[in-house]
Amino acid sequence: MISVCPLVPMVPESKRAAANGGRVPLAVRDKQRTTSAFTGTYDEGEICKLLAMLSSRMALRRLQRIAVAPLSFTSGATTKVLRDMSTLPRVYVTRQIPPEGLKILQDSGQVQFELWDSDDVPVPRKELLQKVKGVDGLLCVLTEKIDAELLDAAGSNLKVISTMSVGFDHLSLEELKKRGIRVGYTPEVLTDAVAELTVALLLATSRRLIEATHEAKTGGWGTWRTLWLCGYELANSTVGILGLGRIGVAIAERLAPFKVNKFIYADVGPRPELAKAINAEYVTLDELAKQSDFLLVCCALTPETKEICNKNLFSKMKNTSIFINTSRGGVVNQEDLYEALSTGQIAGAGLDVTVPEPLPTSHPLFTLKNCVILPHIASASYSTRNAMSALAANNLLLGLRRQPMIKELKLTLCSDSAFLHFDRTSADARVRCGGREVGRPLFISYPPLSLRSRGPARLEEEEEAS
C-alpha cells in the first residue's frame, strides 16, 4: 500500500537552522527505505523547487510514499507553511486510479491522501472501514459499497464522496443525503468509449466472431459450407434502444452507416430532441421487443428497472433477434436470458455487465455458444479512463473547497406528498415538490406515468447538458 502526504522539511535541531541564516537542514526519506534520498540545507525557494522535483519523481515511481517529517523550526514563514500543510483535508483513494487523477490530487497541494495501491484487487472491506476513519473526502470506484456501515466508520468529518463511475448504484444515496454528504460522479466522458464497445460487442455476437475464432484455432475450419457460422447483418434491420440518452444516441450514430433501416426506442416517454438526431421512433416496451432485430439496453439500474429484461420481454422478441447489454447487469434476469438463449427464443446475446461481477466461470451462460460475455470493459480506453480519473479528482477537490463540482449528483429530499411528474423521459423527467420542480428522478418506469412518492425521500440527479 502507498500513502502520499504533503512534503514537509525535517529539522533535527532548531539551533542549527538559525545558525544557517534561515537555511533549513533537510533529510528526505522514502518511508520504505532507511537511507535518505536528499540531505543538505535549503532556503525557502529551494525547498519549493525540491518539492516540485520530488512530486514529479513520485509520479514516475508510481507515487511511492516519500515523507519528510518535521521536528521543529524557527523560521516564521516556513512554520506557517508547515502548519497549513498539516491541517489539509484527509482523503482516502480506494484504488490505484489512472495517473491523470492522481497527478491532479498530488499537484493541487490541497489535500493529503492515502491510496490503496492496487488496480487488480479491491481494498478489503475490513481495511476500507479502518482507513476511512476521520477522512474528509473519499474517492472510490464502483466496487466499493458506500453504505451506512462505511459512513458510520468514516464519521462526521466525511463531507465529499467522488466516484470514478457514471453509475451510482453502489452508493446509498438516502444515507448520503441524510448526512449532508456531497457526491461527484463521471458521466459524459465515457460516452464515446461505451458506444464503440457496444457496436463491437453487437458485431461480435451477431456475426459469431468468438465462435469463428474458436473453430479456426481448434481445427473446426474444414471445407467451405453454405450456412456454416452464418449470422445476422445490420443492413435493412431495425435497431431498438431501451433507454435513449447520450450513449444510446452515440451508438445509433455509429450504427447508421451500416444501412440500418430504422431506429426505435422505449423510455418513460418520447424524447423528440434526441430522437430527431438519429431519426428514431418512440414505441412501447412491448413493441420494442417485437420489432427489434437488435435490442440494445442503455438504461440505468434502479428499483424500477431491476430485471426489466426478463422472460416477458424475451418471449416477445424474434427468434432471430440479438440482445445486447452494456448498461448494468441488474437490469437483466440472467436465468430468463439463459432459457431464451438455450431454447432458441432469441438468436444471441452480448453482455458487458453481469450479476455478480465477475461472473463465476461455472455460470450456465458461459456454456452457450450464442452468448458473448465481456468483463465490464465498455469504458476501458486509456483516454477515457484517464478522463474519468481526472474528473473524479477535480470533483473531489472542488467539493472539499465547498465549490460547485463539475459533475455532481444533486440529492433532493422531498416530503411524502412530493408529486413525481414524468413529462418526457428517464433523462428529462422532472420531480416536483410542493409545486416546485426540483430535479430528475433516478429511475425509469414503464409505461409513462405520474405517481406520488411512497417513501420519506426521493433522491434526484442534477440536471445535465445533453
Mind telling me the catalytic residues?
Answer: 376
Contact 459, 173 (CB under 8 A): yes
- Is 65:2 a contact under the CB 8 Å cutoff? yes
Bridge partner list, 39: 27
Sole residue written with cell 466516484? 163
CA distances 59 to 54, 103, 141, 384, 428, Å, are: 9, 7, 21, 20, 41
